[in-house]
Structure 1
Amino acid sequence: MLTFEQKQAIIESFPGLTKKEISLNRVNYHFENSLYEKTIVVEKLHPNGNGFVFVGDLLRYEKEANDKGLVNIRDYDEMQLREIVEDAITYLSEEVVVEEPTVEDWRNREGDKLDLVCEQRSWNVYHGENLEETFGTYDAAKAYLLEEGFRKKN
């Protein structure tokens, strides 16, 4: 396993990433040139070696990523770490062209309606024209809606 310092050196070798210290001696690395609202590439890198890289809904990482699109890099070696950070930067710097957005109708028992809309690389939950929540993956948005008592109608 790479040390905290080794991981930092590898991550800091990527141009365009900005280090920001957060609580408990952890650090985040932001990609300020992100085309999306999401800018954090490396999240909560801790001196114990734990940390996460945002990969969104990249199919390559679907088995490793949690519902927020984050992959734990605790046991990554240098090659794996370089590869995933590069993939994350590419993910945030490529514009996705969606000809027609995906829209799903979700309703609860009271008949309230929410729309789940895929726009660019985000899954947005709308109540009418008002944005309620935004998620990095479909699974995270679906889990939220189910938890709130909504079911897919279309």
Structure 2
Amino acid sequence: MLTFEEKQAIIESFPQLTRKDISMKRVNYHYADSKFDKTVVVQHLHPNGNAFVYVADVPGYEPDDRGLVNVREASESELRQIIEDAIQGLAEESSEAEPIEEVWLDGHNSKLELKEELGAWNIYHGLNLEDSFGDYKEASDYLKEEGFKKVEDGGVIR
């Protein structure tokens, strides 16, 4: 495990981060150019070596409900990579992905549409809402159980 001083030296090698001392000898590091309200990249670097890095919405990480990952046991290269990824995540405008819309057909050419809308996965028959699910897997499993197959781009049924 890296010491407090080693972690501090690594973090302070990122010139875009600003140090802010907080209570109990802990230190936060902020990214002032963040495109979001959130500016803290490293939170609560403690003399015992514990610290957290904000990586909410950064692919490849499994943050807690606050968007943080613990870097207590991180190696130097891991810590550098996590901080680089965190800064990159705060530097980029949120790119809203195109909502997913899929067409599903059954053996009788009945057509249903699966659409991602406001965090839900809705199944439509024409303009009528048939059912709604909390995630894609639930919705696709339901469609498969009902005998529907997804139509790929180009009209191929999968």
The alignment's TM-score, normalised by the length of structure 2, stands at 0.61
**In the alignment, does 2:15 pair up with 1:15?**
yes
Which residue of structure 2 aligns with residue 103 of structure 1? 118
**Structure 1 runs of 4+ with >3 Å offset:** 99-102
Higher relative contact order (CA 8 A, sep 6+): 1
Relative to structure 1, is the Cα distance of residues 51 and 99 closer, same or farther in structure 2, using a 3 angstrom cutoff? Answer: closer
Relative to structure 1, is the Cα distance of residues 56 and 4 closer, same or farther in structure 2, using a 3 angstrom cutoff? Answer: same
1:83-104: CA deviations, max 9, x gaps? 0000000000011232779635
1:14-60: CA deviations, max 9, x gaps? 11100000000000000000010000000000000001000002230
What amino acid maps onto 1:42 in structure 2? Answer: V
Which residue of structure 2 aligns with residue 50 of structure 1? 50
Q: CA RMSD in A?
A: 1.7
The alignment's TM-score, normalised by the length of structure 1, stands at 0.63
Q: 2: distance between equivalents of 1:26 and 1:20?
A: 9
Structure 2 residues without counterparts, runs of 5 or longer:
100-116, 121-158
**In the alignment, does 2:33 pair up with 1:33?**
yes
Give 1:7 shift.
Answer: 0.2
What count of residue pairs does the alignment treat as equivalent? Answer: 103
Which residue of structure 2 aligns with residue 72 of structure 1? 70
Aligned-residue sequence identity (percent) comes to 58
Aligned residue runs from structure 1 range 104-119, under 5 A: none
User: Quick check: which has more Rg, 1 or 2?
Assistant: 2
